[in-house]
Amino acid sequence: MKFVHMADMHFDTPFTQLNKNNLGAQRRLEQREAFQTIINYIKQNQIEYFFICGDLYEHEYVKQSTIEYINNKAKEIPNTKIYIIPGNHDPKMKNSYYNTFCWNDNIYIFGNKIEKKTEKEVDIYGFGFDQFYLKDTQINQINIENPNKINILLTHGAIEGGYQEDKQYNPMKEQMLKQLGFDYIALGHIHKPYYKEQPNQNIIYPGSTISLGFDEQGQHGIIVGTIEENKKLQIKFLPIDTKEFEETILPVDDFLSKEELIEAINQTIWDSYKYYKIILTGNRTFEIEPSEIIKYITIPNIIKIKNQTTIAIDLEKLAKEDSLKGIFVRNLLQQKTPENEEKILRAIEIGLQAM
């Protein structure tokens, strides 16, 4: 059997951090392009099963037109059986499109009770969300009914680590999952791909289908695989996202003004397939306000600037001077606390710049 496994597309997510040049709208179009790429791959390779393991869309923001788009794409692959697991962002609530929309015949949507769907060569078990939080998993109650067949589990949730947040999203132990005896466990929820950390690994997160921000750097895509009659599993990661998010460090020590800094950024050659966050470091001799600088950046895919620089002045030494600058710095430093340190240093910077 051949399958495609995806998760965490988050159709119609607002992309609030991509507010420059309406890039949020562009990114939502790129979600559709990625989904079309998957559909094309399924067509060209005659994939029998398509597993969508949660957070296909954003319950609070999704438009009916997007649901219709997804359904129409399913109609393009009528010979592929599509199994959907509702996640914590698209739970199968009463008012969910999973309940109220008339989905195509080749789509089956699991609920919040363990279900088994029997196919000729495989039994597919599924368990999804019906609310935004799910603290008690039912996965550990599964008993495989026919161990001689290929058995696959689909669910959405967190393999429990040391984080309290994990306990709110269908928490599971990896050892428990291994003991269930499934030939493949298709997961969603974690946005980083997890598929080759162990030998013969069959507990798989494909990661988010496209990157949703700077905390999701690197390639994003889907898992494609085959399971033979002897239960031999072969999988590979297939990159789908045409864009990447990247953070890049830019020292400011050699710049004498914000104008020089802006010119340097605008004159640098940047990769067009990446969205950039520039992190400014080093010692500065001029005021840096990221929200002001970004206005003058002409490179459309530079969408964020973060200031991690320090003032290139010995403030303690300056504070000892009997000068207007010394008195100014001394008075402000006396007011500095761990809570207001950033604001005080910013005030000193602006004041010295004005002087």
Query: What's the mean per-residue pLDDT of the chain?
Result: 93
Q: Check residue 163 and give its pLDDT.
A: 61
Percent of the chain topping pLDDT 90: 76
The confidence score (pLDDT) of residue 164 equals 66
Q: Is 163 exposed, middle or buried (0-12, 13-18, 19+ CB in 10 A)?
A: exposed
| Structure confidence at residue 7 (pLDDT) | 98
Amino acid in the structure at residue 44? Q
Whole-angstrom Cα Rg for the chain? 26
Q: Is 90 exceeded by the pLDDT of residue 150?
A: yes
Cβ contact 281:252 at 8 Å: yes
pLDDT score of 258: 93
58 CB burial (10 A radius; 0-12, 13-18, 19+): middle
What is the model's pLDDT at position 189? Answer: 97
pLDDT of residue 161: 62
96 or 354: which leads in pLDDT = 96
Please tell me the predicted confidence (pLDDT) of residue 110: 98
| Number of neighbouring beta carbons within 10 Å of residue 33 | 13
Question: Per-residue pLDDT for 162 more than 60?
Answer: no
Exposed/middle/buried for residue 86 (C-beta within 10 Å: 0-12, 13-18, 19+): buried
What CATH code would you report for 2-239?
A: 3.60.21.10
Q: How do residues 225-265 score in pLDDT, each as one tens digit?
A: 999 989 999 999 999 999 999 999 999 999 999 999 999 99
Structure tokens at 326: 């010394």
- CATH 3.60.21.10 maps onto the chain at 2-239
pLDDT in tens, 17-72: 776 667 889 899 999 999 999 999 999 999 999 999 999 999 999 999 999 999 99
Give whole-number Cα distances, 209 to 99, 104, 224, 317, in Å: 24, 22, 13, 53
